[in-house]
């Protein structure tokens, strides 16, 4: 059973509609004009409204507009009753938000069928709104849980990294142990970056993380990332170089773009064989400034290039001996670069390996 609101200045029309709809089990409230319909809707819940166009004072078209405004945020079906030739009224009612029309003289079966149809639509819409609300609640819970996990993981990881560095400094007479500890410290630093990326992806997806842009030298950013990975590169027998214009500036969020370079550098080191080369460079590009991370490992196939920056997409393990891409690092890079109003792409550097290109406004 639904609660309907009927508005018409003709009492016999109201009584006729109510009798027809009462046989369907509906409960009806009456209004003699548009103003009374708007008042009654403000005071009571109604599942559907039927309005005659021609009423004194506030007509059905004006009432439709007011009712739709009052119901903002939820779906309210409004049916308008018009004469056969009242095309202008129909167009005006559509503009006001009417869902459908009943043409005079209205047949009982038409009235019942239209009401039944739009009540079904309203119920489906209500269920959709409830499902969407639950989805938003789940997303909010996911985001809160992610932030808590990131916070709780970063502190012990930072402590672990610090203690590893301390122990490493005490092993001057044990080069093998020192190398092992350095490798553990590099892995811990990678875990810290991965944990931070999880949080930033959620924020970037929802537009809650906006870059704090300042004019910065692109080469300084690259040298900072390279400095933190020199030991890992040496341990793996990889040459790590930084090149390009030392004076070229571009608007950057140093922290956010620095983690983009760290992710690309991590990817490059993982897929470059011993004796290979990883080269970071800065130069002028189509948008102004271009940062690139080039490694001499196996090139990425054309098929992989088309999907590599999508969420959870993974590079095949056959590209390198140190495992497959986790499917989030490059997705984070894309989101962060796009937040800078830039573009990220990958090519084979004319057959010499894999090169990631970041084009940024300058």
pTM, 2 dp: 0.54
* 328 shares a domain with 226: yes
Is residue 305 classed exposed, middle or buried when 0-12, 13-18 and 19+ CB atoms within 10 A define those classes? middle
Is the residue at 352 inside a domain? yes
Cβ–Cβ under 8 Å, residues 80 and 98: yes
Q: Are residues 184 and 225 in the same domain?
A: no
Same domain, yes or no: 60 and 94: yes
Are 180 and 234 in the same domain?
A: no
Residue pair 261/285 in contact by the 8 Å Cβ criterion: no
247-276 burial, b if ≥16 CB within 10 A, otherwise e?
Answer: ebbbbbbeebbbbbbbbbbbbbbbbbeeeb
Q: Is the peptide bond before 204 cis (omega within 30 degrees of 0)?
A: no
**Contact indicator for 15, 71 with CB cutoff of 8 Å:** no
Let me know if residue 114 belongs to a domain.
no
Domain boundary among 179, 209, 239: 209
**Kind of pairing, strands 78-82 and 214-217?**
unpaired
Asked if residue 89 and residue 173 are part of one domain, the reply reads no
From first to last of its 362 residues, the chain has per-residue pLDDT tens of 899 999 999 999 999 999 999 989 999 999 999 999 999 998 888 999 999 988 998 999 999 999 999 988 789 999 999 875 677 877 888 888 899 988 888 999 999 999 999 999 999 988 888 888 888 877 776 666 666 666 666 667 777 777 777 777 777 777 777 777 777 877 777 677 767 776 677 778 777 778 899 999 999 999 999 988 888 898 889 999 999 999 999 999 998 899 899 889 988 998 999 999 999 999 999 999 999 999 998 888 888 887 888 877 765 544 444 444 446 788 889 999 999 999 999 998 888 899 999 999 97
Claim to verify: residue 205 and residue 340 sit in the same structural domain: no
245 with 298, same domain: the answer is yes
Residue 345 has which token pair?
A: 């792409």
Which residue, chain included where needed, has tokens 């189509």?
Answer: 286
> Residue 113 falls within a domain, yes or no?
no
Range of the domain at 18: 3-106
> Do both 236 and 355 map to the same domain?
yes
Report how many domains make up the chain: 3
Three-class SS of the chain? CCEEEEECCCHHHHHHHHHHHHCCCCEEEEECCHHHHHHHHHHCCCCEEEEECCCCCCCHHHHHHHHHHHCCCCCCCEEEEECCCCHHHHHHHHHHCCCEEEECCCCHHHHHHHHHHHHHHHHHHHHHHHHHHHHHHHHHHHHHHHHHHHHHHHHHHHHHHHHHHHHHHCCCCCHHHHHHHHHHHHHHHHHHHHHHHHHHHHHHHCCCCCCCCEEEEHHHHHHHHHHCCHHHHHHCCCEEEEEECCCCEEEECHHHHHHHHHHHHHHHHHHCCCCCEEEEEEEEECCEEEEEEEECCCCCCHHHHCCCCCCCCCCCHHHCCCCCCCCCHHHHHHHHHHHCCCEEEEECCCCCCEEEEEEEEC
| CATH number of the domain to which 59 belongs | 3.40.50.2300
Q: Do 355 and 229 have their domain in common?
A: yes
Look at residue 94 and tell me if it is in a domain.
yes
104's CB contacts (< 8 A; 6+ apart) are 81, 82, 83, 84
Question: Are 225 and 323 in a shared domain?
Answer: yes
**Do residues 192 and 154 lie in contact, with contact meaning Cβ atoms separated by under 8 Å?**
yes
The answer to whether residue 229 sits within a structural domain is yes
Q: Which of 145, 177, 209 is the last residue of a domain?
A: 209
CATH number at 307 reads 3.30.565.10
């Amino acid at each position: 059973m639904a609660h309907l609101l009927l508005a018409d200045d003709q009492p016999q029309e109201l009584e006729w509609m109510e009798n027809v709809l009462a046989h369907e089990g509906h409960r009806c409230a009456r209004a003699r004009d548009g103003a009374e319909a708007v008042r009654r809707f403000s005071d009571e819940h109604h599942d559907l409204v039927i309005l005659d166009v021609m009423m004194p004072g506030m007509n059905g078209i004006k009432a439709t507009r007011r009712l739709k405004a009052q119901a903002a945020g939820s779906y309210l079906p409004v049916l308008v009753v018009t004469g056969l030739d009242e095309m202008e009224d129909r167009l005006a009612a559509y503009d006001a938000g009417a869902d459908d029309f009943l043409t005079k003289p209205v047949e009982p079966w038409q009235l019942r069928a239209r009401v039944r149809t739009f009540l079904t639509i309203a119920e489906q819409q209500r269920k959709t709104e409830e499902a969407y609300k639950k989805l938003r609640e789940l997303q909010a819970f996911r985001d809160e849980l992610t932030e808590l996990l990131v916070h709780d993981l970063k502190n012990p990881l930072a402590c672990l990294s610090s203690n590893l560095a301390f122990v490493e400094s005490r092993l001057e007479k044990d080069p093998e142990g020192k190398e092992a500890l350095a490798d553990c410290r590099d892995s811990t630093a990678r875990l810290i970056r991965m944990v931070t990326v999880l949080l930033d992806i959620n924020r970037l997806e929802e537009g809650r993380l906006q870059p704090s842009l300042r004019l910065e030298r692109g080469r300084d950013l690259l040298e900072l990332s390279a400095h933190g990975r020199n030991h890992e590169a040496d341990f793996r027998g990889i040459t790590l170089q930084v090149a390009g214009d030392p004076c070229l500036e571009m608007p950057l969020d140093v922290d956010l773009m620095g983690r983009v370079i760290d992710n690309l550098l991590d990817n490059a080191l993982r897929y470059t064989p011993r004796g290979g080369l990883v080269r970071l460079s800065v130069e002028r590009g189509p948008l102004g400034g271009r940062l690139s991370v080039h490694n001499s490992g196996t090139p990425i196939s054309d098929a992989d290039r088309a999907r590599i920056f999508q969420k959870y997409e993974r590079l095949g393990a056959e590209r390198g001996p140190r495992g497959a891409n986790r499917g989030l690092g490059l997705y984070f890079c894309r989101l962060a670069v796009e937040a800078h109003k830039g573009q990220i792409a990958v090519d084979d550097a004319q057959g010499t390996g894999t090169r990631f290109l970041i084009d940024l406004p300058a």
